[in-house]
Amino acid sequence: MSNPSLLILPGDGIGPEVMAEVRRIIDWMAARRGIVFDVSEDLVGGCAYDKYGTPLHDKTMAKAQEVDAVLLGAVGGPKYDSLPFAVKPERGLLRLRKEMDLYANLRPAQCFDALADFSSLKKDVVAGLDIMIVRELTGGVYFGEPRGIFTEGNERVGINTQRYSESEIARVSRSAFEMARKRRNKVCSMEKANVMESGVLWREVVQKIRDEEYPDVELSHMYADNGAMQLVRWPKQFDVIVTDNLFGDILSDCAAMLTGSLGMLPSASLGAPMKNGRPKALYEPVHGSAPDIAGQGKANPIACILSFAMALRYSFDMGAEADRVEKAVEKVLADGVRTADLMGPEGGSPVSTTGMGDAILAALDASL
């Protein structure tokens, strides 16, 4: 039986630094747990453009289609701002999502007890928070046609089209209901059915899938603007939120800051099942490439490490090992270990990127 395969794409900025700490955990798992991954590494984003003249080489795309999972660091940076739109670093990530058909983006927002005071919201509002946003990722207004900037009469008009088919809504709603069954069995679907026909269809299809296939899951519907308000009023009322591409983009970033730092948040993008029955998948931290601190050892590797934990759970059926990694992160934070982004107003001496990795590896050792 072959080892599970993983393609690592560190990318730009702090991507290589945070990914290096994941590589240490992968090595730890081989040495201490006897779990060996077949790991390959390649380029995406600006570094790929520098070498190949494209943000994602065709050979890299082919590799991504073959492996069990892809783990990505970050892409982009001011160095590439003047590039034509078609070859900007972000196009490499979008190509991965589109060609792998990664239609369900899982964005957890979890507030560790040790960081509850770090959120801009009151501690009792965020302490114990654990929600999951399931965002449709390959349709909607970001991909709908017609789109572009056109001339009408004596002025220009920008057009983007919100478009969803029943099948696109059905498959992402199934992902949300399946996720809810593994959590607290509750889904809230968010759209704008009061003003958008696509929202009307969205609500009808989600309700139909629930009634016919998931009658055991509690389902509620909410307008997305009210959903944004409720996320900052009392976020713990939610378990799983399912929504479209545009609203999911906005709502997940809103939920991200409930936890205090983008440096803490992982994500998974899942597609259709492969021959082994597991979904095609790409895992990445929510944060960007942070070029202002790249190469300085200041980056927080936790989001990338937790993204690997999500890969263990959803792509490799290693839930116990995912729990082990997540509990190690929780212990390190409870012990007061902090990178610079997690330092409160009281100050202190932050650890480096490698220092955080050292602490998490020590906690993993202690878990055995």
pLDDT (tens digit per residue) in 165-175:
999 999 999 99
Residue 123 lies in a domain: no
| Rg over CA atoms, the chain | 20
Q: Please check whether residue 246 lies inside any domain of the structure.
A: yes
Question: How sure is the predictor about 326, in pLDDT bands with cuts at 50, 70 and 90?
Answer: very high
**117 in a domain, yes or no?**
no
Q: Among 211, 226, 258, identify where a domain stops.
A: 258
Q: 197 vs 342, which has greater pLDDT?
A: 197
Annotated catalytic residue 214: no
Same domain, 234 and 293: no
| Residue 225 bears catalytic tag | yes
- What's the pLDDT tens digit per position in 268-305? 999 987 777 778 999 999 889 999 999 999 999 999 99
Model confidence at 2: pLDDT above 90? no
Q: Spot the catalytic one: 50, 225, 317, 323.
A: 225
Query: Do 202 and 84 have their domain in common?
Result: no
Based on the domain organization, do 95 and 156 belong to the same domain?
Answer: no
In a domain, 273, yes or no: yes
Assess whether pLDDT exceeds 70 at residue 67. Answer: yes
122/138 Cα distance (integer angstroms): 35
- Say whether 142 is catalytic: yes
21: CB partners within 8 A, 6+ apart: 301, 304, 305, 353, 354, 356, 357, 360
Between CA 20 and CA 3 the distance in angstroms is 21
The CATH number of whichever domain residue 135 belongs to comes to 3.40.718.10
142's CB contacts (< 8 A; 6+ apart) are 160, 245, 246
Q: Is 249 a catalytic residue?
A: yes
Domain coverage including residue 244 = 130-258
SS3 content of the chain, % helix, strand, coil (to 5): 45, 20, 30
% of the chain at pLDDT higher than 90: 84
Of 12, 164, 192, 244, the active-site residue reads 192
pLDDT, one tens digit per residue, over 74-131 is 999 999 999 998 999 999 998 999 899 999 999 999 988 888 888 888 989 998 899 9
Average pLDDT over all residues of the chain = 94
In the set 142, 208, 236, 317, the catalytic residue is 142
Q: Give the pTM.
A: 0.90
42 inside domain: yes
With a cut of 70, say whether residue 346 has pLDDT above it: no
**pLDDT for 347 beyond 70:** no
What is the DSSP track for 142-181? GTEEEEEEEEETTEEEEEEE----HHHHHHHHHHHHHHHH
Q: Which two tokens stand for residue 50?
A: 């520098």
Q: How confident is the model at residue 345 (pLDDT cuts 50, 70, 90)?
A: low
Catalytic residue among 101, 130, 253, 317: 253
pLDDT-derived band at 263, boundaries 50, 70, 90: confident
CB-CB contact of 299 with 290 (8 Å): yes
Asked if pLDDT for residue 360 goes beyond 70, the answer is yes
List 136's β-bridge partners, or say none: 104
Same domain membership, residue 244 and residue 196: yes
- Note whether 240 and 283 are same-domain residues: no
Q: Is 101 a catalytic residue?
A: no
The model's pLDDT over 12-65, given as tens digits with 9 standing for 90+, comes to: 999 999 999 999 999 999 999 999 999 999 999 999 999 999 999 999 999 999
Beta bridge partners, 243, equal 135, 190
Identify the active-site residue in 164, 249, 280, 283. 249
| 215 and 282 within one domain | no
What's the structural domain count of the chain?
2
